[in-house]
Structure 1
Amino acid sequence: MAAILSQYKHLVDFDQKSLFLSAASIAFNPTFWNIVARREYHTRFLTRIFGGRSQTACYFLAGTIFSLGLVRDALYERALRHQPIHPALDQELIKYGAYGLVACGNILVLTSTWALGITGTFLGDYFGILQEKMVTGFPFNVSSAPMYHGSTLSFLGTALLYGRPAGLLLTLEVLLVYLVALKFEDPFTGEIYAKRDRERKAGKKSS
């Protein structure tokens, strides 16, 4: 294994601890918010901590997730600075494309947050704060998960801006982690709304 890693050291320096700290942060964040949100859904532990105020509890989780995201991004940029630059990525045309990717990524993230609001963006469904109807306009008409896709594009653009192959490797991890998260989140969120619809239908029949 050490021999294999040494062959690629000119691309990725696996001796740098910052690389593994960044990778750990990337994996930790969605794991954390999925575990906490599901526990909240089943036990309402955060809502109880905040005196039964589910919206306040959701805003607290939103602030926590946002802060963890800032830490993750800082660790990512630190890891890139410690990695070797590859000449093929250190070109003017690549830089222009990188700026475009970062811009597109930020547009997807910001517009999806605007469309959903804070509670809609940060797992308000798990707190019982449900959307009345599905948001189908931009950016959801171009991406099924604009927050995740936008974040991935931003990671990719940043890797290219720095010209570091290690950034491409970490971006691949970001994509894989988000794909796994969606496998858990989408069915669970879908069931939350399906349960709401069943209860509404049952209520109409009983009345």
Structure 2
Amino acid sequence: MNSLTNLVDFSQSTFWLAVASILFNPTFWNFAARSEYHNKTLTKLAGGNALYGCYGLAATIFILGIVRDAIYERALRNQPTHPLLLGFVPNALAAALVLSGNVLVLSSMWALGITGTYLGDYFGILMDEIVTGFPFNVTGSPMYWGSTMSFAGTALWFGKPAGFVLTGVVFVAYSIALRFEDPFTAEIYKKRDRENSKKAK
């Protein structure tokens, strides 16, 4: 039976760079969004325009995502391949995971728009009502879990056990991020509802 150290080459610097980038991204956007909410940091940098500040954060998050994905793919290429992960069936499952994951991510972005996707709530750019249709009727966090599925599918496509370890890091990082994001975002909307109720009286 193969040990984990035989399946994953932990001596590769690209593996640890991938871990760092996976952990950095949600940490960064949560820190930036909280700083914006409490101090209007990004709005001030955008000359007092909250919309431009949100667009700037969106562009930054998007670029960081591309960089992270490139690092992940390069890390996989430097890792051992396992024969059981190769062949028609694994490739078909990999394609299904990546396709399904991208459907969740892209349909979520379509439903939310740029500001809804990229933390516009923290800039005071709130949606009129909560989106409950697809893909949010499948999962409450389609972008996170769709992205996780794509990581797993890519690992399977290349036949790399290390990819599943990195996918586990993605899962943990997103799970922790959601513990901070969901309650905070919910409170933003509750605050708006309370303020609207006061105005209506």
Q: Shared fold by TM > 0.5?
A: yes
- In the alignment, does 2:51 pair up with 1:71? no
Matches within 5 A, 1:28-177: 28-177=24-173
- In the alignment, does 2:166 pair up with 1:192? no
SS at match of 1:167: helix
CA positional deviation for 1:49:
1.5
The residue type paired with residue 26 of structure 1 is I
**What percentage of aligned pairs have identical amino acids?**
60
Unaligned runs of 5+ in 2: none
SS at match of 1:150: helix
CA positional deviation for 1:90:
1.3
For 1:188 and 1:118, the matched residues in 2 are separated by: 19
Partner of 1:23: 19
CA positional deviation for 1:52:
1.3
The residue type paired with residue 182 of structure 1 is L
Unaligned runs of 5+ in 1: 1-5
For 1:7 and 1:118, the matched residues in 2 are separated by: 44
Decide which of 194, 197, 202 is 2:198's aligned counterpart. Answer: 202
Encode CA deviations 1:180-200: one digit per residue, 9 max, x unaligned: 000000000000000000000
- In the alignment, does 2:36 pair up with 1:14? no
The residue type paired with residue 141 of structure 1 is N
Encode CA deviations 1:76-133: one digit per residue, 9 max, x unaligned: 0000000000111112100000000000000000000000000000000000000000
For 2:78 and 2:126, the matched residues in 1 are separated by: 43
For 1:197 and 1:64, the matched residues in 2 are separated by: 30
For 1:163 and 1:10, the matched residues in 2 are separated by: 14
For 1:164 and 1:110, the matched residues in 2 are separated by: 26
Partner of 1:3: none
- In the alignment, does 2:183 pair up with 1:181? no
The residue type paired with residue 132 of structure 1 is D
For 1:131 and 1:93, the matched residues in 2 are separated by: 42
Encode CA deviations 1:35-74: one digit per residue, 9 max, x unaligned: 0000000000111111211001000000000000000000
RMSD: 1.0
TM-score (ref. length: structure 2) = 0.98
**Alignment length (residue pairs):** 200
